[in-house]
Structure 1
Amino acid sequence: MKLTLPTWLTLLRIVMIPVLVLVFYLPYKWTNFASAAIFGLAALTDWLDGWIARRYDLQSAFGAFLDPVADKLMVAVALFLIVQGHPTAWMAVWAAVIVGREIAVSALREWMAEIGQRAKVRVAVIGKVKTTAQMIALLCLLYSVAPHTPMQDIWMGTQVFHIGDWTLAIASILTLWSGLQYLHAAWPSLREDERLARENAKAKKNA
């Protein structure tokens, strides 16, 4: 299997996950900047690998599989760090909504692929808006909840935190909305597949 440049960028994004965790907990005053910068760089590679793949026709089946896995891992780990850094009920709810939706939609896409209907659950515009809001929120929150934010940065960190907190709430609402849209698009196919399964079971029973 030949690895293309977009796939290498995706692999780099996965390698950056443990680096993000390590930097987040380092006992230095610059870790809030570094944590946000690492996540921002990961988000940039996510856009860049897709652009390169489309621009230079470097798409691959392995890359198509790995890219969303890398994205979901990075987002999930960032959310876990943020909840640990700011352990409130609301933050845990937003994190659970986003992670739970990603798991559910991934399972839905896998099911639709099995029945040859994956195209019906392609990424919609609202999904892209949700992703943008989510990335902004995580950048702001990683900057403002790192354990060793210096005292002179507390005021600015508080303002950034509020921006991230509200943006994450908006992203969570959009997450639920887009998830329901995917389910609505897939529902007829799921019902049809269930009907065919019942008919096949009945035919085998009567055979």
Structure 2
Amino acid sequence: MQLTVPTALTLMRIALIPVFGLCFLLPPPWTNLLTVAVFALAAITDWLDGYLARRLGQSSDFGAFLDPVADKLMVAVALVALVTVYPHLWMAVPAAVIIGREIAVSALREWMAEIGKRATVAVSQLGKFKTAAQMAAILMLLYREPIGPIPLPEMGMLLLWLAALLTLYSAYVYMRAALRVLDV
């Protein structure tokens, strides 16, 4: 297997996960800015690897497998870390919904691929909007402080709930599509 630029970016995103964890555990004042920077870099590589794979014609089966795994790992680690900063139901519920949905939909996609129906549960525009809301929310919550009059943590929490609601809806859409194909 030849290592392509998009796959290298995805592997870099996976390598950033322990770096993110270490930065998150650093004492203030560096924690906020460093974790935001590492997570932002990971989010940018998420967009960039897909763009480059299409633009350069470097899509691969391995990259298609690895990319969503890298995304889900980074998001899950960030959400679990955020629950330690915001230890209440308002954070735990959307974190659990998002992580649970990612596991369930990944399993559904794998199962549908096994029976040759992977396209039935392909990523939709709704999923991309959900991901954007989720990434923005996580960045705001990681920063942990307002910027001037802008209440970043509160805005992040609202966006995270929006992402969780979109997550539930997209899970419903995927399940409905899969059930239709399976004639259950």
TM range (shorter): over 0.9
Instruction: Tell me the amino acid that sits aligned with residue 4 of structure 2.
Output: T
Query: 1:128-164, CA deviations, whole angstroms, 9 ceiling, x for partnerless residues?
Result: 11111000000000110xxxxxxxx567598110010
Contact 2:146–2:153 under 8 Å retained in 1: no
* CA 1:10–1:23: 2 relative to 1, 3 Å: same
Is residue 2:175 matched to residue 1:183?
yes
What is the DSSP-based 3-state SS (H/G/I as helix, E as strand, rest coil) of the residue aligned with 1:123?
coil
Q: 1:62 corresponds to which residue?
A: 62
What is the DSSP-based 3-state SS (H/G/I as helix, E as strand, rest coil) of the residue aligned with 1:87?
coil
Give the length in aligned residue pairs.
184
- Report matched runs for 1:19-168 at 5 Å: 19-144=19-144, 156=148, 159-168=151-160
Q: Which has the larger radius of gyration?
A: 1
* CA 1:64–1:155: 2 relative to 1, 3 Å: closer
Please give the alpha-carbon distance, in whole angstroms, between the structure 2 residues aligned to 1:190 and 1:78.
35
* CA 1:155–1:131: 2 relative to 1, 3 Å: closer
TM-score (structure 1 length as normaliser): 0.85
TM-score (structure 2 length as normaliser): 0.96
Matched-pair identity in %: 58
Please give the alpha-carbon distance, in whole angstroms, between the structure 2 residues aligned to 1:157 and 1:16.
31
Instruction: Tell me the amino acid that sits aligned with residue 16 of structure 2.
Output: M
Please give the alpha-carbon distance, in whole angstroms, between the structure 1 residues aligned to 2:148 and 2:85.
17
CA-based RMSD of the aligned residues comes to: 1.5
Please give the alpha-carbon distance, in whole angstroms, between the structure 1 residues aligned to 2:28 and 2:138.
20
The answer for unaligned runs of 5 or more in structure 1 is 145-152, 193-207
Please give the alpha-carbon distance, in whole angstroms, between the structure 1 residues aligned to 2:130 and 2:121.
16
Instruction: Tell me the amino acid that sits aligned with residue 190 of structure 1.
Output: L
Please give the alpha-carbon distance, in whole angstroms, between the structure 1 residues aligned to 2:79 and 2:146.
21
Runs of 4+ in 1 over 6 A off after TM superposition: none
Contact 2:79–2:138 under 8 Å retained in 1: yes
